């Protein structure tokens, strides 16, 4: 890898993931799933998104993209393994930033994002060595950086300029 570019990245850490959930209960539930699988039990699944009820990515915004025609793909199945959710709530993505340097790094992120925090993007940026750049886009929802103008063009332009300067 010669350059890192993160656009609307999920820079989660297990400490932040504990907010707004019964972390110990969730961790225990997913540990039970892994224990059953390790004993030869079946792999169990849950919806990635749902209009209501349990899902790996709860809430109206993930559903507005992945659960509708907006994000539809004929090859995508709306399910994830239950065990994979355990990885989401326990993995420290921040630590990865420590291993990116001295590679050039660009982070493009929305100023408001209920699902992938701007604070996480800023923390990763702080942990990187130069050369690095942080571009804030005036998006108000995480999914706007997927396919909405002018956010996509702003992200693409910033990426192209950064790659041209660094490669």
Task: Tally the domains of the chain.
Answer: 1
Structural domain including 147 reads: 4-166
pLDDT score at 7: 98
Judged against a pLDDT cut of 80, whether residue 164 lies above it is answered with: yes
Residue found under tokens 């932040």: 16
The upper half-sphere exposure of residue 116, i.e. CA atoms within 13 Å in the direction of its Cβ, equals 22
Judged against a pLDDT cut of 80, whether residue 19 lies above it is answered with: no
Judged against a pLDDT cut of 90, whether residue 23 lies above it is answered with: no
């Amino acid at each position: 890898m010669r350059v890192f570019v993160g656009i609307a990245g999920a820079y989660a850490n297990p400490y932040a993931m504990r907010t707004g959930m019964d972390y110990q209960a969730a961790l225990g539930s997913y540990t039970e799933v892994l224990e059953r699988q390790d004993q030869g039990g079946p792999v169990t699944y849950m919806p990635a998104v749902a209009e209501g009820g349990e899902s790996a990515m709860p809430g109206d915004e993930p559903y507005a993209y992945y659960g509708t025609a907006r994000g539809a793909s004929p090859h995508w199945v709306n399910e994830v393994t239950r065990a994979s959710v355990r990885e989401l709530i326990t993995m420290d993505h921040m630590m990865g930033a420590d291993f990116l340097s001295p590679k050039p790094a660009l982070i493009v992120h929305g100023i408001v994002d209920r699902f992938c925090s701007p604070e996480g993007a800023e923390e990763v940026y702080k942990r990187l060595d130069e050369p690095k750049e942080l571009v804030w886009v005036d998006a108000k929802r995480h999914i706007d950086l997927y396919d909405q103008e002018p956010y996509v063009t702003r992200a693409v332009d910033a990426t192209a300029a950064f790659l041209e300067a660094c490669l």
